[in-house]
Structure 1
Amino acid sequence: MAARLAESEEADALLFLLEKPLDWEKLHAATENLSVLVASDDAVILGSAAKAEFSTVPLNMPDSPVYDQLAQALLESVADDLLSPGSSVVALYSGFEAGVLDSLSVVRLDEHLGRLTVRDLRKLETRVPLDTLKTAVDLAVEIGREGREGKPVGTLFVVGDHKKVLEHCHPLGFDPVKGYVLAERRLEDSKVREALKEVAQLDGAFVISAKGNVTASAQHISAPAADITLSKGLGTRHWAAAAISRATAAVAITVSESNGTVRVFQNGQVMLRIEPFRRAMKWKDFELDPPGGE
């Protein structure tokens, strides 16, 4: 049914959000000539799907609602160049009963999605490793999309050239990352990223080394802003990002508190802009009548 729907809608891909394995041979037969993506929290499912030559999308959110998992799967697919930002996707998932594929949705990403892809990030001429930059940008997008405890959050990440960046910084007060050993400050660690979401509620910027270590937080940036021109409506956080990216070889990433928009600055200019996926995928409450109308 999903394959027929994908053909009639001229969809670019089928996305399966799985909680248990499928018969991969039957899936190949049913989806011939269609692009199929398999998303799951389960490494066994992903491993067997990869061996069956399906593209896989790892998730790490087993306790999240299905619409959050599906949104993340689509975001990761775009970020990893498995889908283009304008793709149309037929998604299959367990909407009612756990472990049972009982729901179909057609999602047109150009109506919902704005996020950087790896290809976009490669356009930046920077010494910051792509993995570090992508992790920082993805974290900024999550903060812009989710906020914290239902409230919008704005923040600033300065990535790379950290020694020179710190010459233009001074702490606004208590620095929550100060005193932690290096292993407890690595951006690649999911626990560290979750902690940074909490710290982002404080004023000030994060300084991150090119290797992905969080060097400092809650920092005031005082780099010179001469000869910098920004669009009207951008506040002090964006001016600070432009200034520090002009004064150093760092890449600055801002999250706007007003609308969650993420901007990437280099050499004093906005190089990329991302409009986060703000829970745009919403399903209406289903009204089900029990068998027999009782």
Structure 2
Amino acid sequence: MNISGNLASKFRRKQMNQVFLQSAMQISAEMKPDSVVLCTNSVLDETLLTELKEKHRLIMVTNDANRCLQLLDSGIAIEHYSKKSDVQEDLVRDIVFMLLNSKQITESSTILFLYSKNDWDCFSQILYLELGNIAEANYLKSLSSLTHIAPLQILETVIEIALELCREGREGKPIGTILVVGDHKKVLQSSRSLVFNPFKGYTIRERDILKQEVRDSVKEMAKIDGALVISDRGIVQAGGQYLDFRATDIQVGPGLGSRHTAAAAVSRGTTCMAVAISESTGVVRAFVNGEVFLQINPRQNSPIKL
């Protein structure tokens, strides 16, 4: 065991954290953010923390449950980041979403972030954010009202898959399809297979959309006719489904056809979110209760709650 090497590494991390905290003091004095968010598991310099806490609202984010307990009496707002996934996510975006959900910040907050994507014990990046200029803040706030359908992480992942289908497409064009998440038993009761179910016979783990390889499979299966049906736990139940729901009085707007009508109808007939991708424009529309709930144009990167 290289004890001296480990001690040297810990000392360097401690030094690095102090440098970043000192930089945060200078930047926050100039920019005056609403909150300073420290994403770390490390024990930080008490003097610098106290100074930051006196001048700014301080939020500590840790992915270590034990560290959360240690900080309970610190007088600092504490958040436990517990997201676990094989998919490489944008850490800052995920934490912004989490803080919005817990009401630690608002859509108009300005935030100074200290974090590292790969090492929760040593800061490596500083980022100043004005959430009022970030469309995703409103996008997540919209999805967070749908957690009766599925957990936020599942809803977000389904939207991300839809956006990837638009951007990656086929032969330079978006792939038109429908992704249905939530209330899968009722959805399948009123659906019929257009093709042999490509997900039949696989284990739950092999159908979990939080796994990158499953996301890739979903994107491949989206190329076949019919909708993909996903449970509220993020488990793909079936592909190639014809959604046979009554479309009486469904109005999806000018220029939108049978795919969007089917998505609206299934969302009205069940407790689900149905995401329809327009093959012609690439616009992603999420339907809830028979109406467009969220519309995203990935080319403009502009999520809009309707």
TM-score, with structure 1 as normaliser: 0.68
208, 216, 220: which one pairs with 2:242? 220
195, 211, 214: which one pairs with 1:173? 195
2:234 is the counterpart of 1:195: no
254, 277, 295: which one pairs with 1:256? 277
Give CA deviations for 1:81-113 in whole Å, capped at 9, x if unaligned.
Answer: 433233221122349999653542211123223
Give the corresponding residue for 1:141: 159
Question: Could you tell me whether the CA contact under 8 Å between 2:229 and 2:236 is conserved in 1?
Answer: yes
13, 30, 35: which one pairs with 2:51? 30
2:288 is the counterpart of 1:265: yes
Give the corresponding residue for 1:56: 80
147, 154, 157: which one pairs with 2:179? 157
Question: Could you tell me whether the CA contact under 8 Å between 2:195 and 2:240 is conserved in 1?
Answer: yes
Question: Could you tell me whether the CA contact under 8 Å between 2:207 and 2:214 is conserved in 1?
Answer: no
Find the aligned partners of 1:208 and 1:63 in 2 and give their Cα distance: 18
Find the aligned partners of 1:62 and 1:227 in 2 and give their Cα distance: 42
Question: Could you tell me whether the CA contact under 8 Å between 1:140 and 1:253 is conserved in 2?
Answer: no
Change (3 A) 1:111 1:198: farther
Change (3 A) 1:27 1:161: same
Find the aligned partners of 2:297 and 2:34 in 1 and give their Cα distance: 22
TM-score, with structure 2 as normaliser: 0.66
Give the corresponding residue for 2:91: 69
SS in 2 for 1:226: coil
What is the number of residues matched between the two proteins?
Answer: 266
Deviation, structure 1 residue 120: 4.8
Aligned positions of 1:91-106 closer than 5 A: 91-94=113-116, 100-106=122-128
Deviation, structure 1 residue 278: 8.8
Find the aligned partners of 1:85 and 1:261 in 2 and give their Cα distance: 22
Unmatched runs of 5 consecutive residues or more in structure 2 = 1-22
Give CA deviations for 1:174-212 in whole Å, capped at 9, x if unaligned.
Answer: 42321235x44775x733x75145313423323344566
Unmatched runs of 5 consecutive residues or more in structure 1 = 123-128, 281-294
Greater CA radius of gyration, 1 or 2? 2
Counting aligned pairs with the same residue, the percent is 25
Find the aligned partners of 1:43 and 1:154 in 2 and give their Cα distance: 42
2:141 is the counterpart of 1:117: yes
CA RMSD of aligned residues (A): 4.2
Opposite residue 133 of structure 2, the aligned amino acid is E
Change (3 A) 1:235 1:48: farther
